[in-house]
Amino acid sequence: MAKRRARGEGSLRKRSDGRWEGRYTVGRDEATGKLLYRNVLAKTQAECKAKLREAIRNTAQEAPTPKHVKSTPKETAAPVQRFTVAEWLRTWFELYSKPNLRETTQEQYTNFLEKHLIPNIGDIPLEKLTSLRLQKLYQDLRTSGRVVQNQKAGPGLSAKTVRNIHMLLHSALDQAVREDLIKKNPTDGCSAPKPEKKEMKVIQPEQIGNYLQAAAERNVLPMFYLELTSGLRRGELLALLWTDLDIEKHTISVNKSVRCRQGELKVSTPKTRHSIRTVVIPQQAVELLIQEHDRHPDNPYMFPSPVTGNMYHPDTAGRIHKRILEDCGMEHVRFHDLRHTFATLALQNGVDIKTLSSMLGHYSSGFTLDTYTHVTDKMQQEAAEKMGNFMEMTF
């Protein structure tokens, strides 16, 4: 018989007869307090999910009529489906959320559910969950919510993580409102913490030459030159194939990304649909990429590891970047800050925000503006000074 799915992944299973079974709760036995279950059957997993979703919406447990009141058709209680918070969150994740998420986001949501939400509020009846209880949860997560302790990070979760948990809850409880399981969404009355803006570190223009010289000495100049002239995410950069380069048009096709999961390299589509893009690169970058390919003409990867012949492991690329910084005697900046360096230099050299947003694969120009406020503020000051000087000359 097929094994049941792991806890937190819903109540679907494949039976020994080949059919799929979905189980769901319809309340509790008043005498024993045990949960009552019903099931649906289907030939395929997709059909079973659809039947289960419909059953949750339509099947209900009738509220008992008091003994001293005669039952009439008008007095019959309206059907109502009752869940604990844990039961609903797992049902919502399996049926509504998980099918639309990338694997990495599925893992993140599972972590939020099983480590932070269900252990803290899972036993609460869904209709009894309040904004006050959620606000207390957010505060507890901020002060002492870290499951795996990290001395550098402290005992609490970051504001960004708690806000992401809040957004997950908001989506799950919105669906509960649409299914008439609760009257209103308790997250609407909560105040989620605002993400803390960290000071962005970049390589200064006067340091770029030394950085690239150190990269050349380590025989990795093409990879890091391309990074500083395109702003690709690390996974996008390392997943490039030689066929992604259009030599005549001077473009790179960004359509995949590599990441490490459980010790294995996995290639998938980029972060969002906006991340699938074509980026124009300088002629110098094209020439360096041709030279790089001439060193391993039979390898399909743009930047194969000299050790494995496969793609570079993201951590390995990060370590090379760190050694380059050490060779230059430069202050440490993350590999991702090379992307910030590209964006900052592009803005300072007159690239308009819409073009830059497209090159970075952002979902909107507004997001790019918010991310690089430190640059655009300075540009506005310079623009104001130029306009002031112009007006002085004309008046």
Read off the pLDDT of each residue in 100-115 and give the average, rounded to a whole number. 90
Structure tokens at 20: 């799929």
What pLDDT does residue 152 have? 59
Segment among 13-17, 186-190, 265-269, 331-335 with least mean pLDDT: 13-17
Neighbours of 239 (CB within 10 A): 26
Read off the pLDDT of each residue in 168-174 and give the average, rounded to a whole number. 96
What type of residue is 158? S
Decide if 315 contacts 245 (C-beta within 8 A).
no
Read off the pLDDT of each residue in 380-393 and give the average, rounded to a whole number. 74
Higher-confidence position of 370 and 329: 329
Higher-confidence position of 291 and 368: 291
N- to C-terminal Cα separation, the chain: 88
What pLDDT does residue 45 have? 83
List CB contacts of 277: < 8 A, sequence separation 6 or more: 254, 358, 359, 361
* Position 61 confidence tier, pLDDT thresholds 50, 70, 90: very low
- Residue 7, pLDDT above cutoff 60: no
Decide if 190 contacts 165 (C-beta within 8 A).
no
What pLDDT does residue 74 have? 44
Identify the CA nearest to 86 among candidates 133, 134, 121. Answer: 121
Decide if 231 contacts 343 (C-beta within 8 A).
yes
Read off the pLDDT of each residue in 139-157 and give the average, rounded to a whole number. 79
DSSP 196: P
Question: Taking the CA atoms of the chain, what radius of gyration do you get in angstroms?
Answer: 28
Q: Which CATH superfamily is domain 205-380 in?
A: Intergrase catalytic core (1.10.443.10)
Higher-confidence position of 234 and 29: 234
Read off the pLDDT of each residue in 9-26 and give the average, rounded to a whole number. 74
What pLDDT does residue 77 have? 44
- Residue 243, pLDDT above cutoff 80: yes
* Position 143 confidence tier, pLDDT thresholds 50, 70, 90: very high
What pLDDT does residue 64 have? 45
The listed range with the strongest mean pLDDT (18-27, 34-43, 86-95, 99-108) is 86-95
* Position 273 confidence tier, pLDDT thresholds 50, 70, 90: confident
Decide if 257 contacts 227 (C-beta within 8 A).
no
Which CATH number is associated with domain 12-62+79-189?
1.10.150.130
| Interstrand relation of 20-28 and 35-42 (parallel, antiparallel or unpaired) | antiparallel
Tens digits of per-residue pLDDT, 192-202?
888 777 778 89
d(CA 60, CA 58): 6
pTM above 0.75, yes or no: no
What pLDDT does residue 30 have? 66
Residue ranges, CATH 1.10.443.10, the chain: 205-380
Residue ranges, CATH 1.10.150.130, the chain: 12-62+79-189
Tens digits of per-residue pLDDT, 150-162?
555 578 999 999 9
